[in-house]
């Protein structure tokens, strides 16, 4: 009897968890295939003819709304901006972060730990504390509203992330393999490129994907340091929802397109997620 | 050659370091601004005023309101996320087909940008067509005010935060639960120890380092939360959801009062620095512990 009560409770717990955490995502997908009339019904419709009009409108940037003239949306540019900013940030992070991570893992040097922790602490500093002065600087030296400046600032979140994850992977590689290779007459760079990097590759790949997700999901940097010309989807979608007369289906569609890349990437790094999210503190 | 070898690690870390020095400069500038009377609309009034900005914010009731709202938000998000995350982790701990699938799917909200998560919920709780309102009407709850009323706005924001970040706690604790050694549980099983006793005396103490890490991570992020709140309520209605960073943002871009905004951010930084210090110590201990276990 008591086992029965327990399993019924468990069943309801599963249902509640699935409803709360997954239903909102499912419903937004659902909404993105609806027309405005279908969304605005007081009783939500479950059966309707799905339309791709929202997606087409979002891509072409033009939507005809009954009773209004044709409306123009610039969401495609936001998508392109997100891609440029995320890919750019991850590339720069890889270039700067991998050698540094190797140094922290392999060499005990004066101030090394301090530098590593200083870099880590940026991840936990209030973002506005740093961006407010940067906003004034960038305006003065003409860097405001440039991809270059934004990608630089994005390093604040991506660099510590990559550094601390990849460092753990380099630490797990035995230095003896590198020494043996170098004794064969190869240079340090050759051993780094041919031995260390391939061995740490799974970690580097997972860390860069996680960096991509964090960069894609960032909101506050571009909100303050860029105009609508270079803003990513996170800021663009907010402008979208606050603008009047945009059909709700189109807003839902914009959100779906914005979250889809990170959701798909997340499925690829499942195995490394725990380690990545805890900055290497917990091995998953 | 010897000098070369000593300098080499610095050469490798230098580029990363340079980028961050570029970040350290604005940090010190912000501290400097916080000691100045600096309003963009009144540039001629600019001048050094020592700690007047700090005196100003600490005698301003609206800053105390900001502190109160921020701490309330942080407290409730962390307590709820911890309990819920722990509960879900325990529920999913056994490796069954359903649990494995759910373990993957439940991470999805965490991968959505917090700002976009707010927008998703804005569409779900829209007073005209929100599907959540429709579902709640069956439970006898009609016309819930959500973000449009000072009494319910914090609840709404906390709910979105819980939606996004509970998976974070869940996934960390799940990894912790699955890595626990089996022997103590087997021994307890043999002795016929009751379930609740096993949970409070074995599971919870062994899980503690993981719980601590997860909550410190969340603590640091929650007290600085900007995206969710800005995208959902912008600190309103009135000042009922005005947290640190939103307040500083409005102070800068609405009132152009750079000095005051900088002072607020320095106060927040001091709080975070203290928390970060605790965090790093625990983090080190845990890393040694998990590494040690891995070597066995």
For residue B231, the chain A residues in CB contact (below 8 A) are 219, 238
- For chain B, the distance separating the N- and C-terminal CA atoms, rounded to the nearest angstrom, is 39
State the pLDDT at residue B73: 94
Cα distance between residue A166 and residue A208, in whole Å: 10
The pair of three-digit structure tokens given for residue B209, joined into one six-digit string = 């380092």
Pick the CATH number of B60-295 from 1.10.10.10, 3.30.830.10, 1.20.1250.20, 1.10.3720.10: 1.10.3720.10
Per-residue pLDDT tens over the stretch B153-192: 999 999 999 999 999 999 999 988 888 888 888 888 888 8
- Give the angle subtended at the CA of A267 by the CAs of A221 and A29, to the nearest 5°: 75
* Contact residues on chain B for A217, CB-CB shorter than 8 A: 111-116
pLDDT at residue A93, as a whole number: 93
Chain B hits for A263, CB-CB cut-off 8 Å, are 108, 111-112
B296 — pLDDT class (breaks 50, 70, 90): very low
pLDDT tens digits along B217-269? 888 889 989 999 999 988 878 888 899 889 889 888 888 888 888 888 889 98
Instruction: List the single range of A64-73, A87-96, A128-137, B266-275 with lowest mean pLDDT.
Output: A64-73
Q: Which residue among B108, B116, B175 sits closest to A274, beta carbon to beta carbon?
A: B175
Q: What is the mean pLDDT of residues B195-209?
A: 84
Q: How many CA atoms lie within 13 A of B164 on its CB side?
A: 26
**Quick one: pLDDT at residue B294?**
44
Element (H, E) at B47: strand B47-48
Which pair of structure tokens corresponds to residue A230? 């270079």
Instruction: Provide mean pLDDT across the span B22-31.
Output: 81
Our CA-based measurement puts residue A262 at a distance from the nearest CA of chain B, in whole angstroms, of 6
Model confidence at B295: pLDDT above 50: no
CB contact under 8 A, B120 and A22: no
Angle at CA of residue B19, ends A193 and A266, nearest 5°: 65
Select the more confidently predicted residue: A279 or A85.
A85
Closest CA to A278 of B14, B75, B211: B211
The predicted pLDDT at position B80 comes to 96
Chain A, 131-150: which have a CB under 8 Å from a chain B CB? 131-137
- Max mean pLDDT among A19-28, A36-45, A157-166 falls in A19-28
Positive or negative, the CA dihedral B226, B157, B223, B69 is positive
Bridge partners for A63 per DSSP = A71
First to last CA, chain A: 37
Q: Do B13 and A130 touch (CB under 8 A)?
A: no
Query: Tokens for A282?
Result: 């917990």
Provide the shortest C-alpha distance from residue B130 to chain A (in Å): 9
- In the numeric block, which tokens belong to residue A68? 């209004």
Three-class DSSP category at B230: helix
pLDDT > 50? residue A176: yes
Residue A67 has pLDDT above 70, yes or no: no
Query: How many helical (H) and strand (E) elements, i.e. helices and strands, does chain B have?
Result: 14, 2
| In chain B, domain spans | 60-295
Q: Who among B23, B104, B116 is closest to A267 (CB)?
A: B104
Q: Which tokens hold the place of A103?
A: 């140094």
Q: What pLDDT digit, counting tens, does each position of B112-135 carry?
A: 999 999 999 998 988 888 888 888
A72 φ, ψ (degrees, to nearest 5): -110, 130
**Per-residue pLDDT tens digits for B30-85:** 888 888 887 777 777 777 788 888 888 888 888 899 999 999 999 999 999 999 99
The ipTM estimated for the assembled molecules is 0.89
pLDDT band of residue A208 (cuts 50, 70, 90) is very high
Q: What is the pTM of this model?
A: 0.89
Question: Domains of chain A, with CATH numbers?
Answer: 2-72 (no CATH), 75-277 (1.10.3720.10)
Minimal CA separation from B57 to chain A, in Å: 16
Q: Report the range of poorest mean pLDDT among A22-36, B108-122, B162-176, B277-291.
A: B277-291
CA distance to partner chain A, nearest, from residue B29 (Å): 7
CA-wise closest residue to A156 among A132, A138, A131, A137? A131
- Residue, of B160 and A36, whose pLDDT is higher: B160
């Amino acid at each position: 009897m008591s086992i029965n009560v327990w399993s019924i409770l468990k069943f309801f717990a599963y249902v509640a968890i699935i409803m709360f955490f997954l239903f909102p995502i499912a419903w937004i997908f659902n909404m993105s295939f609806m027309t405005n009339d279908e969304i605005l019904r007081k009783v939500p419709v479950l059966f309707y003819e799905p339309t791709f009009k929202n997606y087409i409108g979002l891509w072409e940037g033009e939507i005809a709304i009954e009773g209004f003239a044709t409306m123009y949306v610039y969401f495609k540019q936001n998508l392109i901006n997100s891609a440029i900013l995320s890919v750019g940030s991850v590339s720069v992070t890889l270039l700067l972060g991998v050698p540094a991570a190797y140094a922290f893992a392999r060499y005990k040097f004066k101030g090394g730990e301090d530098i590593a922790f200083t870099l880590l602490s940026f991840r936990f500093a209030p973002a506005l504390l740093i961006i407010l002065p940067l906003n004034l600087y960038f305006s003065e030296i003409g860097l405001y509203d440039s991809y270059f400046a934004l990608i630089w600032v994005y390093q604040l979140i991506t660099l510590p992330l990559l550094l601390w994850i990849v460092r753990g992977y380099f630490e797990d590689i035995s230095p003896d393999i590198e020494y043996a290779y170098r004794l064969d007459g190869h240079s340090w760079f050759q051993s780094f490129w041919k031995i260390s990097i391939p061995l740490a590759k799974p970690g580097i790949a997972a860390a860069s994907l996680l960096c991509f997700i964090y960069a894609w999901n960032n909101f506050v940097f571009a909100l303050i340091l860029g105009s609508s010309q270079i803003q990513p989807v996170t800021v663009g979608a907010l402008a979208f929802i606050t603008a009047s007369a945009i059909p709700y289906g189109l807003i839902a569609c914009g959100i779906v397109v914005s979250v889809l890349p990170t959701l798909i990437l997340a499925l690829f790094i499942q195995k490394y997620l725990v380690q990545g999210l805890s900055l290497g503190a917990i091995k998953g | 050659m010897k000098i070369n070898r000593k300098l080499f690690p610095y050469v490798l870390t230098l580029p990363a370091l340079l980028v961050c020095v570029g970040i350290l400069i604005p940090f010190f500038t912000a501290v400097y601004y916080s000691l100045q009377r600096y309003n963009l609309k009144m540039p001629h009034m600019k001048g050094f005023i020592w700690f007047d900005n700090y005196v100003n914010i600490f005698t301003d009731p609206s800053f105390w309101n900001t502190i109160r709202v921020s701490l309330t938000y942080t407290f409730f998000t962390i307590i709820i996320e911890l309990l819920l995350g722990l509960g879900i982790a325990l529920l999913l701990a056994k490796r069954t087909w359903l649990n494995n699938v759910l373990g993957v799917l439940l991470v999805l909200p965490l991968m959505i940008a917090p700002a976009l998560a707010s927008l998703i919920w804005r569409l779900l709780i829209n007073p005209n067509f929100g599907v959540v309102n429709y579902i709640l009407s069956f439970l006898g709850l009609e016309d819930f005010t959500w973000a449009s009323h000072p009494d319910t706005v914090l609840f709404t924001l906390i709910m979105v935060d819980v939606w996004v970040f509970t998976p974070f706690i869940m996934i960390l604790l799940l990894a912790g639960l699955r890595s626990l050694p089996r022997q103590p549980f087997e021994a307890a099983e043999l002795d016929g120890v009751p379930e609740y006793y096993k949970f409070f005396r074995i599971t919870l103490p062994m899980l503690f380092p993981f719980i601590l890490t997860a909550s410190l991570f969340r603590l640091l992020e929650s007290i600085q939360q900007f995206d969710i709140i800005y995208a959902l309520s912008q600190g309103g209605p009135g000042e009922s959801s005005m947290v640190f960073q939103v307040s500083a943002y409005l102070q800068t871009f609405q009132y152009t009062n750079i000095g005051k905004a900088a002072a607020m951010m320095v106060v927040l930084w001091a709080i975070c620095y203290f928390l970060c210090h605790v965090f790093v110590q625990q983090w080190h201990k845990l890393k040694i512990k998990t590494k040690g276990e891995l070597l066995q």
